[in-house]
Amino acid sequence: MKKFGVLVFMVLFVVFNSFSQQKKYISYTVKAGETMKSIAKDNNMKQKDLLRLNPDVAKKPKANTVIIIPNRAFVEGVADSEGLHTVQRKETLFSIAQKYGVTVEAIKKVNNLTGDYLSTGRIIRIPDASEVEEMVVEEEIDPNAIMHLVVKDDTVYNITKKYSITEEELYGMNPALEDGLKLGMNLKVGEKEDERELEELNLFVDEVTNKPLNVLLMLPYKLKSFDFEDEEFEWDNRLLNIVTDFHSGTLIAVDSLRAQGMNVSLDVVDTENSAGKVSTIANSYDFDEVDAIVGPLFMNKAKQVSKTLNDVPVIAPIYSKSQASVSDNNLIKVAPNKELLEAKIEEHLVDTYTNEKVIIVGDNSSATAIRINRVKELLSTHDSIGEITVIKPIGGYIAKDRFIEVIDTIQKKNWVILLSEDNIVTNDAVNNLGTLPLENREIQMFAPQKGNNYKDVMNEHLARLNFTYASTEFNNVTSSAYANFQGMYRKKYHVRPSDYAKRGFDVMYDTLLRLSIGEDFNEGATLGVSERVLTKFDYKKRLFGSTENKGIYLLQYQSDLSLIELN
């Protein structure tokens, strides 16, 4: 009898132990004096992850509150005995439905889901076979169709731009649009055979989730130091305007995303542009719940923070000449390196060359000589390339007659590649070539970027030359994003936004969306290319180094002085 009792006990122990191992999360009753932070520490997890499992529980819950915590005895496997599934990283409704042999519609129905996003760690119920059989799919959807769910702020324009289709094609695939675009509409935007082309575009898909986010904004307000020689700014009395404009743009981003349902908390601290103040903040602020830091504004301070806080993403928003030498693993450089501008225009020249006469305008500096040799070498890969003419200043300037002598009036097509950053050389090239009669000649001008050396030239001359250049920023005044931001900003602040306000909006808006959709910023940064009001974000992680933005625009002046982006 005694042996029988022992046997029964062992069987029950195995059964209950097996049952407990099937559940990834178990209930836990809070004891007096415990907080979510202390419970998270006891379970080797971050407080923010525990709060995500228990979104309705305060940071200091009352004693006897029942919460969900990870089961240390959990063994990965099928859904537990209660038919529950814990969403894993990168899992989707479709992959979960395939795993359990049910439909997406069935999972959404038994869990009262309205959208398609599932946050990592969420526990959902898997319907059993009888429930699936009772469900009737109300509308047949073409299995070969690519669908788009209409969300807040969607417009016909931005949908057609996202999927590279025309308005006529969108309306043709969706007759219901004749009654207007409505929130929640499921629109057909293409066929699966076109999906590979869409994926190759690698576009980031904006999606607001209810995932709680905490972001810290670090900016210099009470300036104690004016050591700015490393930064590419005209540091004068405009400095405080730059800081406040950037901050105002970030607030518009937060307001916009909160209005769309995002759960975001923003805290702001003043760095005073002081290394001592930054050190104090880094060592005293509670970063346990911080998902990302936007700032500090200057690279040397951003580097200081990233080295102190190894596991928090530090978003450096402003370009610095020294940024190429900074490679901390958790540092995110929003401003692309200047070398990418040269690479962009060089790639365009090589790809589009069709027997034009090439004239390179340079100066006598060693840096320009390196650029000239590189462009000549790249263009020489074309068998049809003729002699490349190089013009440099004589006596400090380039006379108009020297341009007239080398311009081809027989074949008529001329490429002028301006590689000098000298103000006088730039003025001579643009003003002389931009005023030449074009009846017997075609002249197009190219440059790696439009820097301060162009501040005294006329845009009318650039337009006549179809001036083409690479840029890290583009004010696309025809885009819905630009119009929406302008409207929100003027409504709140009663002034037009500066480019620094736009940059503040772009950095904060894009950062929050990538944090919201990804497991963390590192994953969010891999989810594709995005374009905001002024900035393109195309993040790439360097091996054992920082994450860098490769987003560059290729822009061209049109005859009406407008700018367009070239593909």
Same-domain status, 363 and 464:
yes
In angstroms, rounded to a whole number, what is the distance separating the alpha carbons of residues 96 and 106? Answer: 11
Paired with 415 in beta bridges are: 358, 444
Kind of pairing between the strands at 389-391 and 357-361? parallel
Give yes or no for a cis peptide into 175 (omega within 30° of 0): no
Is 26 part of any domain? Answer: yes
Structure tokens at 264: 């975001």
CA separation, residue 448 to residues 347, 348, 386 (Å): 11, 10, 22
Neighbours of 329 (CB within 10 A): 15
What are the backbone angles phi and psi of residue 97, rounded to the nearest 5°? -60, -40
Same domain, 452 and 506: no
- Residue 444 has phi, psi (to 5 degrees) of -125, 135
Burial of 476 (0-12, 13-18, 19+ CB in 10 A): middle
| Identity at 91, one-letter amino acid code | E
* Same domain, yes or no: 265 and 311: yes
What residues does 187 pair with on adjacent strands?
Answer: 148
Q: Are residues 264 and 302 in the same domain?
A: yes
296 alpha carbon, distance to own chain's centre? 18
- The values of phi and psi at residue 564, to 5°, are -125, 155
Question: What pLDDT is recorded for position 15?
Answer: 40
CATH number at residue 88: 3.10.350.10
Render each residue's pLDDT in the chain as its tens digit; 567 residues.
444 444 444 444 444 444 444 566 777 888 988 888 889 888 888 887 787 777 667 778 888 888 888 877 665 544 554 578 887 766 777 778 777 877 777 888 887 776 666 766 778 888 875 555 544 444 445 566 777 877 767 788 778 877 778 888 888 888 888 888 887 788 888 775 544 444 455 778 888 888 899 999 999 987 555 444 444 444 445 778 899 999 999 999 999 999 888 999 999 999 988 899 999 999 999 998 899 999 999 999 999 999 999 889 999 999 999 998 999 999 999 999 999 999 999 999 999 999 899 999 999 999 999 999 999 999 988 877 888 999 999 999 999 999 999 988 777 789 999 999 999 999 999 999 999 987 778 999 999 999 999 999 999 999 999 999 999 999 998 888 898 999 999 999 999 999 999 999 999 999 999 999 888 999 999 999 999 999 999 999 998 899 999 999 999 999 999 999 997
Q: Which of 36, 38, 41, 75 is closest to 53 using CA atoms?
A: 36
Rg (CA), the chain: 29
In contact, 463 and 557? CB cutoff 8 Å = yes
Among residues 452, 471, 490, which one ends one of the domains?
Answer: 471
HSE, side-chain direction, 13 A CA sphere, residue 478: 6
Cα torsion 42, 48, 51, 52 to 10°: value is -120
Do 43 and 112 reside in the same domain of the chain?
Answer: yes
pLDDT value, residue 152: 67
Structural domain of 405: 340-471
- CB neighbourhood size of 301 (10 A): 24
Nearest Cα to 124, choosing from 102, 149, 96? 96
| pLDDT value at residue 129 | 57
173: in domain: yes
Judgement on whether residues 26 and 87 belong to the same structural domain of the protein = yes
Report the SS3 class of residue 170: helix
- Kind and range of the H or E run holding 117: none
Q: Tell me whether strands 563-565 and 553-557 are parallel, antiparallel or unpaired.
A: antiparallel
- Residues sharing a CB contact under 8 Å with residue 143, sequence separation 6 or more, in sequence order: 192
Please report the DSSP string for 40-52 in residue order. HHHTTS-HHHHHH
Contact 537/547 with Cβ under 8 angstroms? Answer: no
Asked, for residue 2, whether it belongs to a domain, the answer is no
**What is the 8-class DSSP label of residue 354?**
-
Say yes or no: 161 and 275 in one domain: no
User: Pick from 102, 134, 166: which residue ends a domain?
Assistant: 134
Contact 81, 22 (CB under 8 A): yes
Model pLDDT, residue 456 = 94
The DSSP string of 237-266 is TTHHHHHHHHHHHHHHHHHHHHHTT--EEE
- Kindly report the pTM of this predicted structure: 0.70
8 A C-beta contact, residue 299 and residue 220? no
Q: In terms of domains, do 124 and 184 share one?
A: no
Q: Rounded distance, CA 393 to CA 391, Å?
A: 7
Is 48 within a domain? yes
Rounded CA-CA distance 213/461 in Å is: 48
**Do 486 and 505 fall into the same domain?**
yes
Whole-angstrom CA distances from 270 to 176, 220, 309, 464 are 52, 5, 18, 47
Tell me: do 108 and 31 sit in the same domain: yes
Domain check: are 232 and 328 in the same one? Answer: yes
Considering the domain boundaries, does residue 105 fall inside one? yes
Q: Is 268 a domain residue?
A: yes
DSSP state of 155: -
In a domain, 94, yes or no: yes
Q: Is 560 helix (H, G, I), strand (E, B) or coil?
A: coil
**What does each C-alpha distance from 186 to 98, 151, 163 come to in angstroms?**
22, 10, 14
Asked which of 471, 493, 514 is the last residue of a domain, the reply is 471
For residue 19, the model assigns a pLDDT of: 43
Residue 140 lies in a domain: no
End-to-end CA distance of the chain: 84
Q: How far apart are alpha carbons 365 and 282 in whole angstroms?
A: 43
Give the span between the Cα atoms of 552 and 474, in whole angstroms: 9
Q: What is the CATH number of the domain that holds 300?
A: 3.40.50.2300
Structural domains in the chain (count): 4
Residues 184 and 306 in one domain: no
Q: Which residues contact 453 (CB under 8 A, 6 or more apart)?
A: 420, 421, 422, 423, 425, 426
